[in-house]
Amino acid sequence: MNRKLIAGNWKMNGLRADLSIIREVAAGASPSLQAPELLLCVPATLLGEAVQAATGAALKIGGQTCQAADKGAFTGDISAPMLAEIGAHYVIIGHSERRTGHGETDEMVAAQARAAVNAALTAIICVGETLEQRASARTLEVIEGQLAGSLQGLKSPASFVIAYEPLWAIGTGKVATPAQIGEVHAFIRAFLVDRFGPPGRGVRILYGGSLNPANAPEILPIQDVDGGLIGGASLKAGDFLAIYATASALTV
């Protein structure tokens, strides 16, 4: 069984006053390598102070996106080396909000993922279908295309994590059924094994659609669900640590 990863995505939320949340989460992170890994991906403005707040704890800090280039005339962007230098360990790549709101294509996502890996960051590569695509029975076709395009140029399956985020279940309160989640995660696993061989079994696959303390006990035990990419619930230390506790109980 892969070590579970409980990852929070604060999105465009968080001011210095919210560093207290990071400290509370850090205090609840177990240093045991048998426990799930705990991660918070915060806005760029908080990265440095978040790293400091988590110093000495098992909590890791990550970025929410990165530019494919290491440096250059990209006003407002942040590069993978910048994230690594400030102390980040992970970076989210190709989140649905970046794909839809910023026009990021699979090709762009792949370039960003390669940049992250080259900077010794672990890339959390997001894939997922819209409600229309699911309704037209195209879910697996869409996922396959996104995986094929977004993993271009990545050689080591140990350098990235996949997050399945059904777009229709993000921020809507809707959650895919266990059967739906299991089907997609099994498909992703099969794709990874076919592409990378046996090492593909070691790639962690996260569920990223409105995971919360109430549904975590039902979702996290599903085969090939190796953790979660959590939005709103990660902004409340109690909720985030409750999900972490559920994941921890599964490793006992």
Calculate the average pLDDT of the chain. 96
Please give the residue range of the domain that contains residue 190.
5-249
Please state, for a pLDDT cut of 70, what percent of the chain lies above it: 99
Reported pTM = 0.97
pLDDT category at 169 given cuts 50, 70, 90 is confident
Instruction: Give per-residue pLDDT as tens, 52-83.
Output: 999 999 999 999 999 999 999 999 999 999 99
Catalytic, out of 37, 95, 97, 185: 95
Please state, for a pLDDT cut of 90, what percent of the chain lies above it: 94
* Token code pair at residue 70: 């290491």
Clarify whether 165 is annotated catalytic.
yes
For the cut 80, the answer to whether the pLDDT of residue 173 exceeds it is no
For the cut 70, the answer to whether the pLDDT of residue 252 exceeds it is no
Straight-line distance from the first to the last Cα atom of the chain, in angstroms, rounded to the nearest whole number = 12
Clarify whether 95 is annotated catalytic.
yes
Catalytic, out of 37, 104, 129, 165: 165
Domain of 207, CATH number, reads 3.20.20.70
Instruction: Give per-residue pLDDT as tens, 17-60.
Output: 999 999 999 999 999 999 999 999 999 999 999 999 999 999 99
Q: What total number of domains does the chain contain? A: 1
Instruction: Give per-residue pLDDT as tens, 213-228.
Output: 999 999 999 999 999 9
